[in-house]
Structure 1
Amino acid sequence: MSLTETVGKINSLNDDQRTCIENCNEATEVCEWCADECLGEEDMEECARLCRDVADLTSLHARFMARGSMYSSTLAEACAEACEACADECSNHDAEHCQVCADVLRDCAESCRKMASA
């Protein structure tokens, strides 16, 4: 069963929440990839640090939403801010992994902003 199918079975979630969980999980994966690719490159240290922060935040936020935590909306705001900062940093680099990461993070930030204001 895919993650999308699993998230779809959580009856307490609405469509925006499901989308946000999927975006957060995708952001976690792409940030881990990007951070790993940046390792060892001196001018990529900030990018790797931000990606690692975002991977931790998005993973945590997805879990909070799945269990209906009352802290989810607070975490959503922090998640959105971190995604935006990381996307800005990644967009400064020409590497494919950075460009892919920036695109995914912009979508994640948008869905997290919706959750923060919900």
Structure 2
Amino acid sequence: MPLAALELNDTEQECIDNCFEAVQACEWCADECLDEDMDMSRCIRLCRDVADLASEHARFMARNSSYSTDLAEATADAAEECADECRQHDHDHCQTCADVLDDCVETCRQMI
């Protein structure tokens, strides 16, 4: 079934897109953090949590799951915490990740 056939409104589709962008940004950021000289364990853990939650949330939204709202809240909370953590680091990957997460937080909050 082509994506156009899914019965999602524009806000829902934007949230799904932002979640998948968050997954990519968080996976990239976590991987890059492994190469940093400083302790980046909190950033890595939060990025991994967000990547998993955002992926689940997008998939639950796509199938119109009744649990989607609960995952939207968890994803938004984790993404907000992760963005705050990333902003504490000057690395380009952390700053980029934080910017991407802002959009994810905003659209996930609209789904609650």
TM-score range normalised by the length of the shorter chain:
over 0.9
TM value normalised by structure 1: 0.89
Using the TM superposition, give the Cα deviation of residue 39 of structure 1 relative to its aligned residue in structure 2, in angstroms: 1.1
Structure 1 residue ranges (4+ consecutive) displaced by more than 4 angstroms after TM superposition: none
What's the offset of the Cα at 1:43? 1.9
Counterpart in 2 of 1:38?
A: 33
Residue 87 of structure 2: aligned partner: 91
Instruction: For 1:7 and 1:105, locate their aligned partners in 2 and report how far apart those are by CA, in whole Å.
Output: 27
What residue ranges of structure 1 are gaps of 5+ in the alignment? 1-5
Q: Which residue identity is paired with 1:16?
A: T
Which residue of structure 2 aligns with residue 76 of structure 1?
Answer: 72
Q: Which amino acid aligns with 1:32?
A: E
What RMSD in Å do the two structures reach over aligned CA positions?
Answer: 1.5
Q: Offset of 1:7 from its aligned partner? A: 7.8
What residue number does 1:3 align with?
none
1:66 aligns with 2:69: no
Matched, 1:28 2:23: yes
In structure 2, what residue type is equivalent to 1:55? A
Would you say the 8 A contact 1:90–1:102 is kept in 2?
yes
For 1:77 and 1:87, locate their aligned partners in 2 and report how far apart those are by CA, in whole Å.
15
**Alignment length (residue pairs):** 111
Task: Give the partner amino acid of 2:23.
Answer: T
- Partner residue, 1:14: 9
